[in-house]
Amino acid sequence: MDGQRLTIAFVTILIFGLAVFGIYKLYQKQTESQNAKPTPLTATFNAKSSPMVSPSPSPLSSKQPLTGDDTTAPNLSIAVENPKSGDTVSSPLKVNGLANTEDGMVSIVVKDAYGNSLGQSQATACFSKSPCLFSASVVFGKPSSRGGILEVFNHSSKDGSKKYLQQILVNF
């Protein structure tokens, strides 16, 4: 009889312990999701496979984080979700991501390895407290190289410069 009571007590304690552990994990998951900050979208590119060779330091980064330089409005940025750096692309190229710009527009240009523009398009973004989705298709001509650059940016209303520029290395 004592052995049976001991077994029942052990099973009860085990069940109680598992229930407490499950509640703790659920609480931990909810806390993490409430405190989660959006992480910048990144893409990596193996430079050895790049058909592009530049004698000067390249402005291209192996990571494409959210960018922004305006402190007058929060969260002004562009982040390209697709294509990713190193992807093989063809025309028409579907480009999408998140953007928040002063004029609510995003410009997209496909260039070959020599910097020649092959095609361009625009997409509507937003100008609000946080970025919104943008999407566009870019029809481009036959490239003269095996690789190139996808540029996504916003034209500055002040001087026409490229703001929040994202450069994605692509293969054709």
- pLDDT tens, 32-70? 655 554 444 333 333 333 344 333 333 333 344 445 544
User: Which sequence spans correspond to the domains of the chain?
Assistant: 1-36, 47-171
Answer yes or no: pTM beyond 0.75: no
> At the top level of CATH, which class does the domain 47-171 belong to?
mainly beta
Provide mean pLDDT across the span 13-36.
73
Q: What pLDDT, in 10s, does the model give residues 101-148?
A: 888 899 999 999 999 999 999 999 888 887 889 999 999 999 989 999
DSSP string, 63-128: S-------SSSTT-EEEEEESPTT-B--SSEEEEEEEE-TTSEEEEEEEETTS-EEEEEEEE---S
What is the SS3 assignment for 126?
coil
pLDDT digit string, tens, across residues 141-166: 999 899 999 999 998 888 888 999 99
